[in-house]
Amino acid sequence: MTLVIFQTFWQSILSTLHWLGFSFGTRALHGSDARRRAWIFGSAVVAIAWLFSVLLLASNNFFRNDVVPPRIPLALGLTLMFGYMLLLSKDFRTIIAGIPQHWLIGVQVFRALGGVFLIRWWQGDLAAVFAIPAGVGDLLTGIFAPLVAYWWFSAKPYARPAAIAWNLFGMADLVMAVAIGASIQGSGIVFPIVMIPIYGVPRAFLIHSYSMIGLLRGPSRSSLARTVA
């Protein structure tokens, strides 16, 4: 029960923070206030409906391992597809570009909570081949998130390559964890831990992706600082 409460609270906080960042990005939209409010309200409805739908399905063992096609990778893939398809919208791209880069990086500090995989391994509930690399990778990504965000915010000359390297590491960690989890058929991945691969992982990967788009297309933070000066 404690783990269920923890996962529900954690995912709710994450969802709220992601929505707040998105809402801030709507300031970059040109046009009427009604247009911005529509995006803010619509994204809030989608976020709430998405979270509670996933919670309901997961708690009823919808994502069990003995069905075909496997539902965990299916949920992950559909979420990623939806997130990338949103980039076809000019408004959405404008909003994402309007979210501060240091926020996109810093919000991933919550990846450190992926250390719960190590706890589950220690308790004998997860295989070491999955729990150790996934847990350590998440811990490192989360621990370095605020540091890299600070480097970007402070316009350090090495902030851009550091942010790109950090994003690539974080994305590689997620891909590796999913690949290993799939190879062992998600052993031990049940509710509420299943919320991580079906809800937390695709959201984290999309934020890494949106961050990388800004880093590769936009000027570096240090260049912006010199321009302003």
Q: What is the pLDDT of residues 89-136, one digit of tens each?
A: 999 999 999 999 999 999 999 999 888 889 888 988 788 998 899 999
Percent of the chain at pLDDT exceeding 90: 62
What's the pLDDT score for residue 167? 98
Quote the CA–CA distance of 182 and 18 in Å, as a whole number: 27
Q: Quick check: helix, strand or coil at residue 211?
A: helix
Q: Mean pLDDT score of the chain, rounded to an integer? A: 89
Which of the given ranges, 10-19, 30-39, 164-173, has the highest pLDDT on average? 164-173
pLDDT classification of 1: cutoffs 50, 70, 90: low
What's the pLDDT score for residue 221? 57
DSSP single-letter state for residue 189: -
At residue 185, does pLDDT exceed 80?
Answer: no
Q: What is the pLDDT of residues 15-38, one digit of tens each?
A: 999 999 999 999 999 888 999 999
What is the extent of the structural domain holding 124? Answer: 2-228
Residue type, 198: I
What's the pLDDT score for residue 220? 60
Helix, strand and coil in the chain, % to nearest 5? 80, 0, 20
Contact 99, 3 (CB under 8 A): no
Q: Quick check: helix, strand or coil at residue 134?
A: helix
Query: Can you say how many angstroms the Cα of residue 196 is from the centroid of all Cα atoms in its chain?
Result: 10
Q: Which of 211, 3, 225 is nearest to 102 (CA)?
A: 211
Residue 75 CB partners (closer than 8 Å, separation 6+) = 54, 63, 198, 202
pLDDT classification of 222: cutoffs 50, 70, 90: low
Domain count, the chain: 1
Number of Cβ atoms within 10 Å of the Cβ of 110: 19
Candidate from 43-47, 190-194, 214-218 with smallest mean pLDDT: 190-194
Contact 194, 63 (CB under 8 A): yes
Quote the CA–CA distance of 100 and 210 in Å, as a whole number: 11
Quote the CA–CA distance of 124 and 102 in Å, as a whole number: 37
At residue 227, does pLDDT exceed 50?
Answer: no
What's the pLDDT score for residue 229? 39
Q: What is the pLDDT of residues 126-160, one digit of tens each?
A: 889 988 999 999 999 999 999 999 999 999 999 99
